[in-house]
Amino acid sequence: MSDIKIHSFDNKDFGAYCAMPEGGKGPAIIVIQEIFGVNNFMRQMCDAFAAKGYIAVCPDLFWRQKPGIQLNKQTPEEWDQAMDLYKGFDTESGVRDLLATLAHVRKLPGCSGKVGAVGYCLGGKLAYLMATRSDVDASVGYYGVELDKYLDEVHDIRMPLMLHIAALDKYTPAPVREKLLKAFARNPVITAYVYDNADHAFARTGGDHYNAEAAKLANDRTDQFFAEYLQG
């Protein structure tokens, strides 16, 4: 487990956390951060994917504002900082940095060439955009925000995409959720699941809305999905 550097398309370097599987070989997964940076939860998710045989890389997408953000305590002050970073985040630059990450990961020693992406909250939106705008082999988004702004890209998705949607998520109220589901149903490579008793960030271990039952179900589905499309 180590921190690495990735070269951006505008000729600058930014950081990422990299967890390697036993033996140092396998398909790869790009783990896309929430609004709290590459913090303990993101690193733990990378370590968990590495234990399942994947090279897992979590790039620092806030580096253009302030590199090295790791908000772990989620105090009111950290929430304010996270929201300021989110408001200042440029989605298009973030997607380009993820495309640079994808190119870097595919060239890592030991990478099989198969690369997936999984993201949470902000990362859930970016995982969706990786599905629409890149040749990533499979993508998973957990409670992605603002997806309704990008529904005109739904037919650009050619590789498998799985989305986990929380029914109680205030960032995706029922009318928006129904609009999303209707659009997703028009593309057969998209699978969307709704978790009835779950709120936003239900899979974040230790978070206020952590829902063990929903998290296990979503994570099991994600594991099966990646096993089929990256390891199969």
pLDDT tens, position by position, 110-145: 999 999 999 999 999 999 999 999 999 999 999 999
pTM for the model: 0.97
Secondary element (H or E) of residue 118: strand 111-120
Instruction: Please give the structure tokens belonging to residue 183.
Output: 């659009």
**For 65-104, how does the pLDDT look when each residue is reduced to its tens digit (9 = 90+)?**
999 999 999 899 999 999 999 999 999 999 999 999 999 9
* Total tally of structural domains belonging to the chain: 1
Query: Per residue in 178-209, pLDDT tens?
Result: 999 999 999 999 999 999 999 999 999 999 99
Domain range enclosing 110:
2-231
How far, in Å, CA of 149 to CA of 125, rounded? 10
CATH number of residue 95's parent domain: 3.40.50.1820
Residue 156, φ and ψ in degrees, nearest 5 = -85, -10
Helix, strand, coil shares of the chain, percent, nearest 5, are: 40, 25, 35
What is the CB neighbour count within 10 angstroms for residue 34? 24
Q: What residues are labeled active site?
A: 169, 200
Sign for the CA dihedral angle at 146, 158, 167, 118 comes to negative
Distance CA 153, CA 156 (A): 5
User: In whole angstroms, what separates CA 204 from the centre of its chain?
Assistant: 12
